[in-house]
Structures are given as C-alpha cells and as structure tokens.
Amino acid sequence: FCTMHFNTTFAQMKKADVNGPNELPLYTYLKAQKGFAGFDPHQYKELLEKMFAEKDPDWASKPDIKWNFTKFVIDRKGNVVARFEPTADMARVEACIKELLAAKA
C-alpha cells in the first residue's frame, strides 16, 4: 500500500533495534528524554524484575526499553512528555493523551 500509493522505498517490515549499538537514533533520543522509572503495579511486575535482574544487576538504572509495548507520548511541540512501560494501566495512558489533546496548541 505505502509503496504503491506513496512511493516509499524504505524497509517497512524490518526489525528496528531499540537498545544497543545499532539502536535507531529515535530511540536514543526518546530514552534520553524519559528514562526507565520502574514497572507499574501489575501481575507480571515481580516476574519481570526477577528476569531482568538475572541478566543484568544494573537493569533498573538503565534507560533501555525493557520489554515490548513501551510507549512514549509526544506533545504537539515534539516534546517527550511521558513514558509508559507495558505494565502501565491503559487508563493512565489514555488520560495523558486526553490531557495533551485538550491543551491549546
């Protein structure tokens, strides 16, 4: 669709690195603006913390994206205003977005 209608030439389904030496500059920037602040209360919180601690004792102090579905919220001016881990309640994400949409440009 994108190639046919918009003449895109970039790889649309290529895996993108979000951590490490080959991470996309976008993720370097996002993580620098909003680092990891811990997992929210969730049924998988303890399991995730244990899993990451076994691999890296310093995992909690690093801004790396820890798990799929980490979300960054960007305002109309391009500022990174929030980072939500996969354990975040979607009501919090929704409230953040609604607040930004309600703000005057």
pLDDT in tens, 22-79: 999 999 999 999 999 999 999 999 999 999 999 999 999 999 999 889 999 999 999 9
How many C-beta neighbours within 10 Å does residue 93 have? 14
Q: What are the chain's domains?
A: 2-102 (3.40.30.10)
Residues 6+ apart with CB under 8 A from 71: 83, 84, 88, 93
Q: At which residue do the structure tokens 């209360």 appear?
A: 41
Q: Which of 76, 75, 71, 74 is nearest to 90 (CA)?
A: 71
**pTM of the full structure:** 0.84
In angstroms, rounded to a whole number, what is the distance separating the alpha carbons of residues 102 and 90?
Answer: 18
pLDDT tens digits, one per residue of 56-69: 999 999 999 998 89
CB crowding 20-59: b at 16 or more within 10 Å, else e: eeebeeebeebbeebebeebeeeeeeeebeeebeeeeeeb
Please give the average per-residue pLDDT across 10-18, as a whole number: 86
